[in-house]
Structure 1
Amino acid sequence: MAFYMEHVMGLEPCPLCWLQRFGFMGAGLVSFLAFLHGPTGFGVRIYGFLLVLTAGAGLGVAGRQLWLQSLPADQVPACGPSVDYMLDVLPWFEVLSTALQGTGDCAEVVWRFLGLSIPGWTAVFSRCLSSPVWF
């Protein structure tokens, strides 16, 4: 859905959106590896832990973006450079640090469905993936 929104709808992802994508990709990779491996016993718990870790990271980043979106306009941080530009000119660790802080771009709500913004839906699905029921 994120790639559809970016390439078809023309929505430019902010730094926190990129990090949420990585959380989903990590959860997808862990799930795919668990499917291929077919673990039993303690292996199920290991894959479950890794799934909670990756989906939980996505949930945390979505929570940060939701917090930024809830700020009054005068408290929103300034807009920063695009992720592509930062990757070209900054070291990787500094790009990650800047992305985790969020920018004014991250506070802008550009799309809603059933009253939830993009990070709201990310939080819902990340919470479903990180549920302890999977253990």
Structure 2
Amino acid sequence: MLLNWITIAPRRTLALISAACLGLLAFGMYLQHVVGLEPCPMCIVQRYALISIAVFAGLASLNGKKAWWMGWSVAALAMAGFGAFTAARQSWLQWYPPEVAVCGRDFYGMIENYPISRAVPMIFRGSGDCSAVDWTFLGGSIANWSFVCFVVFAMLLLVLLGSPRARRA
């Protein structure tokens, strides 16, 4: 039943994925601006992954041509995988924090002051900020829940891309 609902109208499913990403981004803005939590560099990378998924899934939902929605869906799937990797890395840092919790540079400071080939490894190395757990829900941190959301988006996109019914639509 659920599989049929997902695959019978791929454009609707893609629009819902896009809307869910925008809702998660709005919640992140709420946590930052209302609750007062400052995002670490890995959190910002996850936000960019969510924005990319929202844009790609939104573009995929705009046109019913198979090549159009499948191409944008593959791009959204790639970003969901990247977001899941980033969230998993941050979760790992939270479970096994570095011996010396040094607060590194902020995200924009890294990008502005270092070449991208040096800044990206610095982001994924993490820092004391990335290993801190400032908010939990049902025992999971923001990174844990982000990982779950990215995996759900990836699974939905895989079902859409792999379903013969959706490919015919």
Separation in structure 1 between the aligned mates of residue 74 and residue 100 of structure 2, nearest angstrom: 35
Amino acid at match of 1:59: A
SS of the aligned residue for 1:130 comes to: helix
* Structure 1 segments unaligned to the other structure (5+ residues): none
Amino acid at match of 2:33: H
Distance change (3 Å), C-alpha of 1:39 and 1:86: same
Structural mapping, 1:1-135, within 5 Å: 1-40=27-66, 42-71=67-96, 73=97, 75=99, 77-131=101-155, 132-135=158-161
Contact 2:91 2:143 in 1 (8 A): yes
Distance change (3 Å), C-alpha of 1:93 and 1:63: same
2:15 corresponding residue in structure 1 = none
Separation in structure 2 between the aligned mates of residue 33 and residue 128 of structure 1, nearest angstrom: 19
2:19 corresponding residue in structure 1 = none
SS of the aligned residue for 2:35 comes to: coil
Separation in structure 2 between the aligned mates of residue 104 and residue 69 of structure 1, nearest angstrom: 9
Separation in structure 1 between the aligned mates of residue 111 and residue 65 of structure 2, nearest angstrom: 37
Separation in structure 2 between the aligned mates of residue 48 and residue 32 of structure 1, nearest angstrom: 9
Separation in structure 2 between the aligned mates of residue 91 and residue 13 of structure 1, nearest angstrom: 22
Separation in structure 1 between the aligned mates of residue 37 and residue 81 of structure 2, nearest angstrom: 25
Distance change (3 Å), C-alpha of 1:89 and 1:61: same
Q: CA RMSD in A?
A: 1.8
- Structure number having the greater helix percentage: 2
Amino acid at match of 1:101: R
Q: CA deviation at 1:92?
A: 3.8
2:23 corresponding residue in structure 1 = none
Q: CA deviation at 1:76?
A: 5.5
Q: Normalising by structure 1, what TM-score? A: 0.87
* Structure 2 segments unaligned to the other structure (5+ residues): 1-26, 162-169
Amino acid at match of 2:57: S
Amino acid at match of 2:56: V
Q: Normalising by structure 2, what TM-score? A: 0.71
Cα offsets for 1:64-95 (capped at 9, x unmatched): 00000011x56355221222333443334433
2:4 corresponding residue in structure 1 = none
Give the paired residue count: 133
SS of the aligned residue for 1:8 comes to: helix
Over 4 Å off, 4+ runs: none
